[in-house]
Structure 1
Amino acid sequence: MTILVTGGAGFIGSNFVLDWLGQSDEPVVNLDKLTYAGNLQNLASLQGDSRHVFVKADIGDYDLILSLLKQHGIRAVVNFAAESHVDRSIHGPEDFIQTNIVGSFRLLEAVRAYWNGLQPAAKDEFHFLHVSTDEVYGSLEKQDPPFAETHQYQPNSPYSASKAASDHLVRAYHHTYGLPVLTTNCSNNYGPYHFPEKLIPLCIQNALTGKPLPIYGDGQQIRDWLYVKDHCSAIRRVLEAGRVGEVYNVGGWNEKANLDVVNTLCAILDELKPRTDGKSYAEQITYVTDRPGHDRRYAIDASKLERELGWRPAETFETGIRKTVQWYLDHQAWVENVVSGDYQSWVEKNYSDRVA
């Protein structure tokens, strides 16, 4: 038995592959296009491991996907492949449409063709698990209940709109063609191997290099924070026992304002790697012009996942964020390799026109 993981060199995907092979001998065919966020260094510990087969390719390559499915007798597909950064989607939405919508469609078509050709027993065992985001649900007011799986889709950015479209395609392929699908919608992930364009790794790296810690607007945007390894364990559980056709929200039960998250990071860094001048890293916090259309609050109700499948996160925000900071302190060589010229150009593009 073998599974296919798409986007398996990215942040969440690589954590999933590493955790999967840390607990199972079932091989993984790992397909990733290796765009800026895909990084084979994340998977360096698997070099020479026969259980891990890496293929550099696009999920939109129908013929290659179908060939891999047949060649390896794939029994499940876990789809992480996506463009996922809201700011990048504002600057250049077309990549998001091509990968998240067109790419997902072509992947589904290849999977459907493969699944239709399976023997009845293998057909019954096959699953396609689509990993999505809470951002498809839109924004919440402070007093609103968290997003449940039945919440209306109200995406507000090109990124979330493209992910919402892919979710709808997955649902349609189940209801129209009978494809055995599962969908997970997760809250904000953080942890090892997180590309340093997102809030937590960006602020850790900027703090250590003496740069400003940019806070959009008033910093009171609220997110539910999910440690990436908890997310991986939830996906494994859904793949193992989830009901075909169902959606499962995955959250950390940790609603935090962005400013509070950054202050927590600063306090941990003050303890673990103090500034040479004795001042707090919090002095580097800088308020900048807010993101256009910035959603005010996301919150996930993950009670269905607990009720039906017995899953709860193992980490609190306090334990998970400390592990994350320590990981970045211990892996500065990884960060230095990731922070390339292309990355610096992106940071300049995104932040240069934001007035402090």
Structure 2
Amino acid sequence: MPSPAQTLGANVGLALTISTSSIDLSREKNGSNLNLMHVVVTGGAGFIGSNFVHRTLETRPQARVTVLDSFSYAANPASLAGLPEDRVRVVRGSVADLELVRRVLGDAEDPVDVVVHFAAESHNDNSLRDPLSFVRSNVEGTVVLAMVAAELGIRLHHISTDEVFGDLELDDPAKFRPDTNYAPSSPYSASKAASDHFIRAFVRSHGLRATISNCSNNYGPRQHPEKFIPRQIIGLIEGRLPRVYGTSENVRDWIHVDDHNDAVWRIIERGEIGETYLIGADGERTNTEVVREILRAFGRGPEEFVRVTDRPGHDRRYAIDASSTLGLGWRPQHQDFREGLAETIQWYRDNPSWWRESAALAEARYREVEEELPQEGH
């Protein structure tokens, strides 16, 4: 069996060098004026995390990145292919592995300035079938990171979701705010709610220098084929009609992944320790509207999709009040959803080798889920 930390080598062409030297516990930094040089990105081979790595290298030419990822089914080594070896290293392992996290964060040769914590199990359907795996990754992993970051005095930013707030009525003008009560409705959102509370507890009890962001639904390149938008895109590329749950009138607040990651950097650089920031781009659309926009881009009719039995606990509406993050000077740049969607579709057309295998596995899992759902009239 390989050790929990190993080089991905030929898979991504990046080197792994973990120092086991003594950990310097004396480093202190001002939470709002970090001289960011070495960034640890957990879940950096997943959708949002890998895009964060690319975005960081593009916009911060002096930054160095260490990716810590377990490389579960939702991660893709190809998302990190071609990155400069002198600026990126990849560590395979779990954020719940305390000793590994201590070695990665305690690198005395290249001290870590900030940890950005994306690593999480995130698919609602999977959480209904295997909630314990979500507790291990999303709760235990976050606690381990909080413990070690607090020990070492390292700045931590925790990525969370708007799903911790539950859902809103379709005709309710309200939006989620940082002070909205938590009301998770799936094992996934419950695990993220717990992780948020652990971060807050460590800020108060252990002096952890951390911030939290809760973001709306992301779209863009490198998103796993099990997710809503890429599943419909890939299905149409392969000749299948889109499939949507229930009435498909559920509303999601969409944001381009680059806008999300730019907001994360703004929070790291300007946010206040202990605060929670909500990230959204006023992109509310029903699932029907999104599917029809994808169909339009493929030259198909607006009703060429299939409805399947709704999943249990399917949230009705998410909507973000992003004034907390807008107040830091951040503004979303991808305001034209149709244009952003067209670019995303083109990325999936251009990169079939990236998604083909994982798409086949995702469709097999969806077939199993649909067979388990109660059918109408039964």
What TM-score, normalized to structure 1?
0.91
Q: In the alignment, which of 38, 42, 63 is matched to residue 75 of structure 2?
A: 38
- Do the aligned partners of 1:207 and 1:281 also contact (CA within 8 Å) in 2? no
- 1:103-142 pair list within 5 angstroms: 103-115=141-153, 126-141=154-169, 142=171
Aligned twin of 2:322: 302
Q: 2:76 is matched by which residue type in structure 1?
A: N
* Superposition deviation, residue 9 in structure 1: 0.2
Q: Matches of 1:351 and 1:191 in 2, distance apart?
A: 26
Partner residue in 2 for 1:122: none
Which residue identity lines up with residue 44 of structure 2 in the other structure?
Answer: G
Which of the pair is proportionally richer in helix? 1
Please tell me the root mean square deviation across aligned C-alpha atoms, in Å: 1.4
Letter in 2 for 1:42: S
Shifted more, 21-30 versus 329-338: the winner is 329-338
Provide Cα deviations, 1:146-190, integer angstroms capped at 9, x if missing partner.
101110001010000000000000011001111110100000001
> Greater shift after overlay, 281-290 or 159-168?
281-290
Question: Aligned equivalents of 1:281 and 1:94: distance in 2?
Answer: 41
Q: Using the TM superposition, name which of 146-155 and 17-26 deviates more.
A: 17-26
Following the alignment from structure 2 to structure 1, what is the Cα–Cα distance between the partners of residues 355 and 315? 29
Between the aligned partners of 1:326 and 1:282, the Cα distance in structure 2 is 20
In the aligned structure 1, how far is the partner of 2:364 from the partner of 2:90? Answer: 29
Q: Is the 8 A contact 2:53 2:65 kept in 1?
A: yes
Shift of 1:322: 1.7
1:61 and 2:97 equivalent?
Answer: yes
Tell me how far 1:353 sits from its aligned partner: 4.0
TM-score (norm 2): 0.85
Counterpart for residue 315 of structure 1: 334
**Distance (whole Å) between structure 2 residues aligned to residue 242 and residue 209 of structure 1:** 44
Secondary structure of the equivalent of 1:249? strand
SS in 2 for 1:102: helix
Question: 2: distance between equivalents of 1:220 and 1:345?
Answer: 25
How many residues align structurally? 334
**1:93 lines up with 2:93 in the alignment:** no
What is the percentage of aligned positions where both structures have the same residue? 41
In structure 1, C-alpha distance between the alignment counterparts of 2:130 and 2:304, rounded to whole Å: 29
Please tell me the residue identity of whatever aligns with 1:58.
S
**TM-aligned CA deviation for residue 281 of structure 1:** 5.6
- 1:211 matches 2:248: no
User: How far off its partner does 1:69 sit?
Assistant: 1.3
Equivalent residue for 1:329? Answer: 349
Amino acid aligned to 1:134: D
Partner of residue 273, structure 1: none
Shift in Å at residue 282 of structure 1? 4.3
Q: 1:195-206 maps to which residues of 2 (within 5 A)?
A: 195-206=224-235
The secondary structure found in structure 2 opposite 1:74 is coil
1:211 is displaced (CA, Å) by 1.9
Q: Which residue of 2 aligns with 1:192?
A: 221
SS at 1:171 equivalent? helix
Q: Which residue of 2 aligns with 1:347?
A: 366
Q: 1:159 aligns with which of 188, 207, 211?
A: 188
CA contact (8 A) 2:237 2:349 kept: no
Q: In 2, distance between residues paired with 1:191 and 1:114?
A: 35
Amino acid of the residue matched to residue 50 of structure 1?
D
The reply to whether residue 84 of structure 1 matches residue 84 of structure 2 is no
Structure 1 position 26, deviation (Å)? 1.1
- Cα distance in 2 for partners of 1:97, 1:29 equals 24
CA deviation string 1:15-69 (max 9, x = no partner): 00011011222100100000001111011121x5210010001001111111111
Post-superposition CA distance 1:220-255 (Å, at most 9, x none): 000100100111111111111111111110002110
Q: Is the 8 A contact 2:295 2:304 kept in 1?
A: no
* Cα distance between partner residues in 2 of 1:241 and 1:33: 30
Is contact 1:7–1:30 with CA below 8 Å preserved after alignment?
yes
Structure 1 unmatched runs, 5+: 116-125, 271-279
- Secondary structure at the aligned position of 2:159 is classed as strand
Name the aligned partner's letter for residue 324 of structure 1: T
Deviation at 1:344, TM superposition (A): 4.1
- In 1, the alpha carbon distance for the partners of 2:152 and 2:324 equals 31
